[in-house]
Structure 1
Amino acid sequence: MKMLKPQSIMPQLLKGKMEIVNSQINSISVDAESNHARGKKLPTKVEIQNWLANYLVEQLDLNPARVDVSIPFERYGIDSAAAIVLVGDLKDWLEIDLEPTLIYDYPSIEELARHLNDSIRAEYS
């Protein structure tokens, strides 16, 4: 029986192990990856604005014609508790993490939609 020298088989073993590791790495599904990164269509600024406007119409029983995207959420009666709920629902719709204080940093539909559009595109482009 022919004996193999460890130094002669080591490169083949390492190559085989690396191929297995690379194969496993390529097949891993990262849980933290969002649906947007997996190819789901990203919403546009207009779609985000429409979602926010429709949200206000439904939640506050507003006439859709009275919703102005430049008016601060506060003027629609969105207080801190309602803002947290709105951001939570928006987070669910967009399927991304959002800060609960987002509405205070971007206080109108227009500003919030612009910020989210820019952020989403920067992150998933």
Structure 2
Amino acid sequence: MTQSIVPIFGEQNFYPRPIQEKISMAIQNQEIAVETHKNQSAIQGWLVSYIAQLLEIDPKEVDVKASFDRYGLDSSATIGLTSDLENWLGGSIDPTITYDYPSIESLSKHLAGS
């Protein structure tokens, strides 16, 4: 008896159980990786949007190489930024990270692991 290879659709699972479990686990692992790891471009875009909204300026006016100080962000504003960034990334970030990585570009590179 031969088994046909048919994709999993809806409630019908045509693969043998061990293969179904491997497929399910692979899909879950891929989704987790996509959800938990943001690339530099995504982080940079989030930071640009955040600064633009905070300062009520057009995102095109935000220079990713400029320091956070240039935008007038004091320590309480940068702590708010890191807190919101933590929530978005789903991980813990040192609230003083903007001192070590003082621009959008350097911070996004660091957080993305680039």
| TM-score where L is the length of structure 1 | 0.63
1:71 counterpart residue number? 66
Aligned-residue sequence identity (percent) comes to 43
Aligned counterpart in structure 1 of residue 109 of structure 2, from 114, 119, 124: 114
Bigger CA radius of gyration? 1
**Which runs of no fewer than 5 residues in structure 1 stay unpaired?**
1-35, 120-125
Stretches of structure 2 that go unaligned for 5 or more consecutive residues are: 1-28
Q: What are the Cα deviations for residues 30-56 of structure 1, in whole angstroms up to 9, with x where unaligned?
A: xxxxxx997141211000000000000
The residue aligned with 1:14 is none
Q: CA RMSD in A?
A: 1.9
How far 1:60 moved relative to its partner?
Answer: 1.0
Query: What's the counterpart of residue 49 of structure 1?
Result: 44
Write the distance in 2 (CA, Å) between the matches of 1:113 and 1:59.
18
Q: TM-score, normalised by structure 2?
A: 0.69
Aligned residues: 84
Structure 1 residue ranges (4+ consecutive) displaced by more than 6 angstroms after TM superposition: none
Residues 1-125 of structure 1: pairs in structure 2 closer than 5 A? 39-41=32-34, 42-118=37-113
Distance 1:116 1:108 in 2: 12
